[in-house]
Structure 1
């Protein structure tokens, strides 16, 4: 097996940690890029040095809040910098994690990710995109945001998937030098079955002694699209376990 050198933007984040671990476990060289490692994809600090000798950039850096304008500006700047510094360093391509259904999004964070895809695809380096369903780990985040004994969680459908599963799929895509043929659907990865966010949250809530109340999601960006299954995987998606219950049972 040939060894590829990867730079992982967002290497210390929820998904990035798994991407680094998967690539390292496969014997590749990994340059972790995050503000914690002295690399900032927004200011450009440390980028030139980090990308020396890098073959592939994997972009899993993300904005920390859901406000559309701020998230879009983050993605706009990071995309421009990764392309500019990567092109100058001789990087071969960029692989990026996105979200299933962003092409339908009209508002909020998903709309910012839609812009992110478009911005990356307009740059000089070849770009491969992997759209993923909401992470199992996202359910805990929904409870954390509310910080109380009762949590109100949208009873919306998702095909929840583990971060580790997405990291493995993204590593596979990043290692594939081929280009997507025109008209080929963007690859998707999701969990093995449809789940309801509120029901998954209730399973976790039992562990945390939090009562979870399912709500209709009114007021959330594109809740109507979500309720109709607009953010579920398409027929070409790769489906891979574990289920949310299996993943939860494996957590310490």
Structure 2
């Protein structure tokens, strides 16, 4: 079995990645500030990567500011490549977002640059682009104004973090494949973000109001399907309603 280091191990996606790898009997090194590893300052990173075969990078910035997120991704990519190369790591596998090619502003534009920073480093890199997570909808409910959550009425194909974690673990462990497009994973059907949020809001007693795509960053691109999966995407996991009902 391989030894994996997971950057962002205590985050929304990282927790699932650690669970999947552990269930598959791999040796896992969880990396986050909570475990004493900081991929920005480099504190504890060299020690954490000792004997590691593959880094899985699912660390993320906590806010939507493009400049701050870009700096986080630039620094983390450089640190993971530098310390990974010194430790003899063979591969970095990282999660990205479907449609980042189309992004022009905000967090998605920073994530597009993250792909570029990673791909420019010395270690081989494999990317998996995912649709927005089911869990992201619950986060939108927390961003309320006057007890109302305002959510963009844009098309999406929400996917469960667990399904993304399984696919990312598969990608990280697979034999190298040259010339293939960047793989994508999304949920089983197209949904409207505001309608999904309304389902979650009804269950929690939170009022949700859909807002026009033109009022959010890159909303017009989203409204035209710019962040929906392509024809080669893998569709997996429960619908948002199924996920809500099972609490998984």
**Above 0.5 in TM-score?**
yes
Please, which of 221, 226, 235 is the counterpart of residue 239 of structure 1? Answer: 235
Measure the CA separation in 2 of the matches of 1:71 and 1:233: 24
RMSD: 1.0
Following superposition, the deviation at residue 215 of structure 1 comes to 1.2
Q: 2:15 aligns with which of 10, 14, 17?
A: 17
Provide the secondary structure at the position in 2 that maps to 1:185. Answer: coil
**d(CA) in 2 for partners of 1:60, 1:88:** 21
Alignment-derived partner of residue 28 in structure 2: 30
Residue 152 of structure 1, CA deviation: 1.3
Runs of 4+ in 1 over 4 A off after TM superposition: none
Residues 81-101 of structure 1 show CA distances to partners (whole Å, capped at 9, x for unaligned) of 000000000000000000000
Q: Deviations over 1:138-169 (max 9, x none)?
A: 00000111165321111100000000000000
Long gaps (5+) in structure 2: none
Contact 1:96–1:130 (Cα < 8 Å) also in 2: yes
1:224 equivalent among 220, 223, 229: 220
TM alignment of 1:140-179, pairs within 5 A: 140-146=138-144, 148-179=146-177
State the 1:105 CA deviation.
0.6
Task: State the shift of 1:177 in Å.
Answer: 2.9
Distance in 2 (CA, whole Å) between partners of 1:241 and 1:21 is 16
CA contact (8 A) 2:158 2:240 kept: yes
**From 67, 92, 96, the counterpart of 1:69:** 67
Contact 1:149 1:209 in 2 (8 A): no
Distance 1:192 1:84 in 2: 38
Equivalenced residues, count: 248
TM-score, structure 1 normalization: 0.96
TM-score, normalization by structure 2 = 0.98
2:87 equivalent among 76, 86, 89: 89
Decide which of 96, 102, 120 is 1:98's aligned counterpart. 96
Q: Which aligned pairs between 1:173-188 and structure 2 lie closer than 5 A?
A: 173-181=171-179, 184-188=180-184
User: Over residues 222-246 of structure 1, what are the superposed CA-to-partner deviations in whole Å (9 max), with x where a residue is unaligned?
Assistant: 1110000000000000001200000
Residues 131, 188 of structure 1: 8 Å contact kept: yes
2:203 corresponds in structure 1 to 207
Aligned partners of 1:241, 1:59: CA distance in 2, in Å?
22
Deviates more, 1:234-243 or 1:214-223: 214-223
Partner of 1:190: 186
Contact 1:148 1:210 survives alignment (8 Å): no
The answer for unaligned runs of 5 or more in structure 1 is none
Is the 8 Å Cα contact of residues 213 and 222 (structure 2) preserved in structure 1?
no
